[in-house]
Copies of this chain bind each other. A is one copy, B any other.
């Protein structure tokens, strides 16, 4: 995520790799975080990165697997046997290991799983792989601390000591009954200050927020954000404790969600993979459909202009301002739709606020239209002082441009603001009302507004 790696660091690694100096590599990386090594690998050629990966030893290698880019991970895993992959997965938490396995080709998945030596890890991963993508089940990790409500604090500490051996980080201590039904949370604080003979059932906190294995990832993100928590337990339909999700995994969900929204707002279907991993073929597919829809809509501008053929033939000068006027409406509408779509996504406004939004945008649209309209008039005035392009009627043309800009900008602003609210109310994704979509809508009406104004203003004079 951070800025690029310095040339100096890259070169020192290149030198080590060129001389195949494994000892020097081990020494240099011994105190480095896997995420930093992954960052360096990203800037190296694949063969160089592969050399690093294969010579670092299992422990570091597994850390790198998590932090490396999708594309490179795929290539590296492709160069390993199923047994080697299983070994490298050994040091990972169950959710990360399951993620790596889920990306493998179907026939290799089973093979890698069969090579896993740790029986508990194996069954954890098989369980995790059984949940549908995009649900809490597929997002959770199995590693957690679980204590029985009948235990004393002393027994609890002893049991935690045993359980913690197999866990990297303790996020929360969950309290369950004899049937593994989640009852609540034991805060470290309460445990530290309670006498050793106290029963857990007397000190645990039963007000616990949990999600189900079937809860959608986006909802998990919303819940974690809403309640400001860093880890949430996952239960099945009957309430059995199945795993936990930490907020760092949710951050990835948020990033993905935002990327999808941004792609849609750019006037295309969202890519599923990263830009680099997406082929030209699937890129053209994701973009082409929307471009064709927009093209079909924009085709109406040709129809509208053909309708005003007579006016155009009499005063070609009118044609000059068509792009300027309609694009001003499009730009204003693009701003409005961006603002409203984002505010909806952040729940700053809801569809019930449409009246408030409309009032605000009619007012903003008025001032923006006024500004652009004046600018348009001034442009006609200045130009006509130098060249006689608009003839004697420059002022009338200027006023036509002014009125049209006011109308088009206000119209674009209203459409851009209302469209996402309308889509949301219809149960559709407001992000679909992209800048290009609104611009296309506004272009057609913009031409009509412009030519009607012109006909009215210039009738009997130019037309």
Contacts and interface: CB of A to CB of B under 8 A. Distances in A.
A280 interface: yes
A371 interface: yes
Contact of A226 (B35, B291, B363): B35
A69 to B, nearest CB: 8
A315 to B, nearest CB: 10
A43 to B, nearest CB: 8
B266 A335 contact: yes
Contact of A319 (B223, B265, B312, B439): B312
A18 interface: no
A276 B271 CA distance: 31
Contact of A327 (B227, B319, B367, B439): B439
A366 to B, nearest CB: 9
Given A251-B254, A349-B275, A267 B331 contact: yes
Interface string A326-340: 111011101101111
Nearest to A389: B306
A426 interface: no
Contact of A291 (B67, B339, B352, B371): B371
Interface of A: 1-2, 4, 31, 33, 35, 39, 66-67, 69, 157, 160-161, 164-165, 167-171, 187-189, 192-193, 207, 209, 219, 222-231, 246-248, 250-251, 254-255, 258-259, 261-263, 265-268, 271, 274-276, 280, 283-284, 287-288, 290-292, 294-296, 298-299, 301-302, 305-306, 309, 312-313, 316-317, 319-324, 326-328, 330-332, 334-335, 337-340, 342-343, 346-350, 352-353, 356, 360, 363-364, 367-368, 371-372, 375-376, 379, 389, 434-436, 439-440, 443, 447
Given A33-B207, A165-B189, 11 more contacts: A164-B188, A169-B189, A225-B248, A247-B247, A247-B251, A258-B258, A280-B364, A291-B335, A298-B323, A298-B328, A335-B436
